[in-house]
Amino acid sequence: MNYTLHPKFKPDTDFFTDIIENYSSKGEDYGNQNRNSLKLFDFKGITINVKSFKVPNIINQIVYRFFRKSKAERSYEYANRLTNLGIGTPTPIGFYEFKSIFLFNKSYYISEHLDYELTYRELTTDFDYPNHEEILRAFTRFTFNLHEQGVNFLDHSPGNTLIRREGDEYKFYLVDLNRMEFKNLNLSERVKNFAKLTTHKSMIEVMSDEYAKCTNSDYARIFDLMWSETNKFQEKFHRRRRLKKQIKFWK
């Protein structure tokens, strides 16, 4: 086992090590447990969130052991980078990893748990949600700010942005952080970053309008790019699903 904790939390190393070593028997299950496990723990009156990444396949056990940072380490590293840029994400606490001489095993990412009112996904299913367009436009400006600061969130998908109202404003917090790029983005790369969010043309129209205002670009050009990238992603997504069903036809 090896670990890294934020300096603020190092005095409580024993507490965090204990919940990791006893993860299977402690904590409260939270959310969908199908892919990776999430649990909540109380820490000095603060709720913390521990994400347990499943053991990788044998090839990735070798890759993560020798050649690539684990999902937990990248989540922690990227959360700190976002925090330093003033971009919303639950406060990072640390990560733990378990390795053998030749293989990588489990990893855990620890952060403070953030209460929120909705995610972007609710905007795609409830068009009567209060201030729907206002939230969507604010989300678009938030994404524009990501791009301006050189952040390409590769998992910019409906469930990965937490939204809550703070005073008169809507604030946005990114989760599932292990896939990111930090670089200058051209307009095509920026618009492509919206492709996984929704299939609803009306939402694309609103986001295109707001993003065109943010970038001083022509609305028609932004809409055509965003709608095209959305359709490309959907075609690719459904093609992968059909292929997966063919490969696993016996299930």
Nearest in space to 138 (alpha carbons), one of 95, 188, 88: 88
pLDDT at residue 25, rounded to an integer = 92
CATH topology of domain 2-112: Phosphorylase Kinase; domain 1 (3.30.200)
pLDDT at residue 72, rounded to an integer = 96
Provide mean pLDDT across the span 79-97: 97
pLDDT at residue 36, rounded to an integer = 82
Which H or E element spans position 92? Answer: strand 92-99
Measured CA to CA, the distance from residue 97 to residue 99 in angstroms comes to: 7
**Contact indicator for 19, 41 with CB cutoff of 8 Å:** yes
pLDDT in tens, 200-240: 999 999 999 999 999 999 999 999 999 999 999 988 866 77
Number of other CB atoms surrounding residue 205 within 10 Å: 14
Measured CA to CA, the distance from residue 251 to residue 246 in angstroms comes to: 10
Asked whether residue 249 carries a pLDDT value surpassing 60, the answer given is: no
pLDDT at residue 141, rounded to an integer = 98
- How sure is the predictor about 243, in pLDDT bands with cuts at 50, 70 and 90? low
C-alpha distances (whole Å) from 103 to each of 22, 61, 94 are 22, 5, 22
| Domain spans of the chain, in order of start | 2-112, 118-242
- Percent of the chain, pLDDT > 70? 94
Asked whether residue 7 carries a pLDDT value surpassing 90, the answer given is: yes
Asked whether residue 164 carries a pLDDT value surpassing 60, the answer given is: yes
CATH topology of domain 118-242: Transferase(Phosphotransferase); domain 1 (1.10.510)
Measured CA to CA, the distance from residue 234 to residue 224 in angstroms comes to: 15
pLDDT at residue 213, rounded to an integer = 97
Asked whether residue 35 carries a pLDDT value surpassing 80, the answer given is: no
**Contact indicator for 187, 215 with CB cutoff of 8 Å:** yes
Amino acid identity for residue 87 in this structure: I
